[in-house]
Amino acid sequence: MKKSEIRNKIGLRIKELRVQHNLTQEKFALMTGINRSYLADIEKGHRNFGFGTLERIVEGFGISYSEFFEGL
């Protein structure tokens, strides 16, 4: 699997979880301390991001890493 495919799948998973939690990008960005436009680019698979950012996202949803990566 290519890196871009992984980024796309993770981005879609973030968006899916955000919608399930009834959160706008703006609200989730504020909750996690991530810039909203950066979050939007991550969701679209257009941005690379580090483990620290992923950690803030997963913690923002209040789930485990295994729950986050479930089905990817």
Can you give the CATH number for the domain in which 53 is found?
Answer: 1.10.260.40
**Contact of 25 with 40, CB cutoff 8 Å:** yes
- Tally of domains within the chain: 1
Per-residue pLDDT of the chain (72 residues; tens, 9 = 90+): 788 899 999 999 999 999 999 999 999 999 999 999 999 999 999 999 999 999 999 999 999 999 999 988
Domain, as residue range, for 30: 3-69
Place of tokens 């879609």: 12
Instruction: Give the pLDDT score at 3.
Output: 81
Structure token pair of residue 16: 């899916």
**Could you give the maximum distance between any two Cα atoms of the chain, in Å?**
32
Note the pTM of the prediction, 2 decimals: 0.93
